[in-house]
Amino acid sequence: MDKLTIIRLKEAGRSNRSIAKELGINRKTVGHYWNQHLKNLKVLEAAPDSLAAKDKLVSAPTYDTTKRSPRKYTPEIDKRLDEIILSEIEKKRQLGPHKQRMTAIGIFELIQSEGFDIGRSTITAHVREKLNRHKEAFIKQQYALGYRVEFDFGEVKLRINNELKTYMLAVFSAPASGYRWAKLYESANQQVFLDAHTRFFNQVSGVYETVVYDNMRNVIKKFVGRNEKELNDELVKLALFYGFTPVVTNAFSGNEKGHVEQSVKHIRNKAFTKVYAFDSLHSAQEHLDAMLVNLNEPSQIDEERRYLAKKYSDFEHSIISTHSVSKYSFISLGRNFYSVPDYLVGKEVTVKKYLSVLRVIYQGNFICEHQLIQGKGQYQIDIKHYLKTLSRKPKALEHSLVLQSLPDLYRCFRCYYQSEPKRFIQLLEANQNKPLPEIIVQLRKERLLTRDSTKHPLPSKAVDAARGQVQAYTQLHLERSSR
């Protein structure tokens, strides 16, 4: 509908009826446009500088809808809609945001199923209006360098070695400097939580004054009353060790640590939307690290480091347990098996399990260390743990699990020492302080030297004795002959 056309035709002296007939509209509409235009002109003449009067003159006509009443949206429907929205607010409080949330369409379908005759657009409009009444305003925050860093976990799906799996992305984000740090983990348990802090503080070479968290299990031990929270014991130890203050946000208030919330999404999208398949988790982490270098170029982390508290050492967290050493000199942990020195068979040892390694302690002394096995029913074996037993039982070596678990050493044995297991064990004992690759080189070298010597073998002791006797007899014979 052209407001300008109607006004120009009226100024030309046309009647409302003829204009309405020509434009195909109601004559009352023509009259409404013209009367409102004349009214706006009078207002503008009275106040030529009024911006409101100028706007009304050129804006589209308005209609008074305040006296209109909905024909189908009854008080009963309005009351039922309030009940549904209140129940959704309670559900959000219990389950968290976006957990099984009912949409406006879902609310319409529920109301319709209850026998109310109402349109979908009417319900969705009223739902939107009711929810917007409670929109919250936020106050933008600005922090000093070194004062605050925020932590959170996010999920990321990756294809590692052709296997699709969900991994956890631990993220630290410093709002003052704009610096971001992230690492991939296979879970979000307590050890991962603590390991991420240790690695991050090492990366930035210091400690922030406060670290901000949401109400995750690694942070909150339990809720005391409506507002009080008891911190997790391990987090308390971590905070005491590094000297920072833990700050916990209100429940379902992601805006209170909005910088890290956005950082999780930003890092995940930047790193893994185009590339998500890797040979190993290590290569995925390398890809992530390279992306973070570029992402952190504009940050002020170099300046912020000057404001961080000093970090004296690394926090060590381990799960301590006691284990009996089996007759095969193994300890069992997580349904996997790890070797210990054979003199500990039948003894009780203490095991400290860290995120990626375990350490065996006996009577307060460190015994050995193994990389943690990923999987079940596997073995981590060090052949040096069995040298004492093998020296007494050399024939048990060839078919032993300990030798077969070391493919390179096993091949060396089969090629050069299969007929001399005792000599093989002696050489292992002599070189046991060397790394395994060097031991294998030494074993091959010794065998090659032995083979060269067999081409021109040295005389045995018996032959030497016989030769000595012959020489003595010859000398005696010569002396008698000279007489």
Angle between helices 421-430 and 436-455 (to 10 degrees): 130
Calpha distance 109→115 (Å, rounded): 10
Same domain, 159 and 299: yes
Q: Tell me what pLDDT residue 46 has.
A: 79
Q: Tell me what pLDDT residue 158 has.
A: 94
Task: Answer whether residue 88 is part of any domain.
Answer: yes
Q: Tell me what pLDDT residue 456 has.
A: 43
Sign of CA dihedral 437, 440, 444, 450: positive
User: In the listed set 380, 411, 432, which residue is the last one of a domain according to the structure?
Assistant: 380
- pLDDT confidence band for 200 (50 / 70 / 90): very high
The pLDDT tens digits of the residues spanning 169-197 come to: 999 999 999 999 999 999 999 999 999 99
Beta strand spans in 225-334 (E): 228-231, 245-248, 277-278, 319-324, 330-333
- Over the chain, what is the mean pLDDT? 84
Using the 8-state DSSP alphabet, how is residue 329 labeled? S
Is residue 410 within 8 A of residue 353, CB to CB? The reply is no
DSSP of 134-161: TPPP-------TTTEEEEEEEEEEEEET
For residue 352, give its domain range.
318-380
Calpha distance 13→407 (Å, rounded): 105
Phi first, then psi: give them for residue 41, nearest 5 degrees: -65, -40
More confident residue, 59 or 330: 330
Number of domains in the chain: 5
Q: Tell me what pLDDT residue 458 has.
A: 42
Q: Tell me what pLDDT residue 42 has.
A: 83
Q: Specify burial of residue 85 (Cβ count, 10 A radius: 0-12, 13-18, 19+).
A: middle
Task: Answer whether residue 143 is part of any domain.
Answer: no
The pLDDT tens digits of the residues spanning 359-380 come to: 999 999 999 999 998 888 999 9
The SS3 of residue 155 is strand
Task: Answer whether residue 69 is part of any domain.
Answer: no
Predicted model pTM: 0.58
Half-sphere exposure of 9 (CA within 13 A, CB side): 19
Task: Answer whether residue 313 is part of any domain.
Answer: no
Work out the number of other CB atoms within 10 angstroms of the CB of residue 33.
Answer: 21
- CA dihedral (442, 431, 401, 161) in degrees, to 10, reads -70
| Angle formed at CA 61 by CA 59 and CA 62, multiple of 5 degrees | 115
Radius of gyration of the chain (CA): 42
Structure-token pair, residue 365: 């002394």
Instruction: Report how far apart, in Å, the C-alpha atoms of 85 and of each of 92, 99, 211, 268, 448 are.
Output: 11, 15, 35, 33, 84
Q: Which of 38-42, 108-112, 255-259, 320-324 has the lowest mean pLDDT?
A: 255-259
Same domain, 111 and 166: no
Same domain, 195 and 286: yes
Same domain, 392 and 375: no
User: In the listed set 288, 307, 326, which residue is the last one of a domain according to the structure?
Assistant: 307
User: Is the pLDDT at 89 greater than 90, yes or no?
Assistant: no
Calpha distance 83→81 (Å, rounded): 5
Q: Specify burial of residue 362 (Cβ count, 10 A radius: 0-12, 13-18, 19+).
A: middle
Burial 205-215, CB ≥16 within 10 A → b, else e = ebbbbebbbbe
Same domain, 182 and 264: yes
Mean of the pLDDT values across residues 27-31? 85
Same domain, 166 and 297: yes
The SS3 of residue 350 is strand
CATH of the domain at 162: 3.30.420.10
Same domain, 35 and 152: no
Q: Tell me what pLDDT residue 447 has.
A: 78
The pLDDT tens digits of the residues spanning 298-323 come to: 999 999 999 999 988 888 888 889 99
Task: Answer whether residue 249 is part of any domain.
Answer: yes
Calpha distance 179→76 (Å, rounded): 54
Contacts of 91 (CB under 8 A, 6+ apart): 99, 100, 101, 102
Task: Answer whether residue 141 is part of any domain.
Answer: no
Mean of the pLDDT values across residues 96-111? 77
Q: Tell me what pLDDT residue 87 has.
A: 84
User: In the listed set 307, 327, 349, which residue is the last one of a domain according to the structure?
Assistant: 307
- pLDDT confidence band for 77 (50 / 70 / 90): confident
User: Is the pLDDT at 207 greater than 60, yes or no?
Assistant: yes
Same domain, 337 and 422: no
Same domain, 288 and 172: yes
Same domain, 105 and 157: no
Calpha distance 335→347 (Å, rounded): 19
The SS3 of residue 90 is helix
Same domain, 425 and 368: no
Return the bridge partners of 230, or none: 222
Structure-token pair, residue 102: 């009912």
Structure-token pair, residue 151: 């932590």
Is residue 347 within 8 A of residue 245, CB to CB? The reply is no
Task: Answer whether residue 64 is part of any domain.
Answer: no
The SS3 of residue 274 is coil
Same domain, 279 and 215: yes
Provide the CA 372 distance to its chain's centre, in angstroms. Answer: 19
Contacts of 20 (CB under 8 A, 6+ apart): 26, 27, 29, 30
User: Is the pLDDT at 393 greater than 80, yes or no?
Assistant: yes
Bridge-based pairing state of the strands 210-213 and 245-248: parallel
Task: Answer whether residue 392 is part of any domain.
Answer: yes
Alpha helices, DSSP H, located in 155-224:
190-204
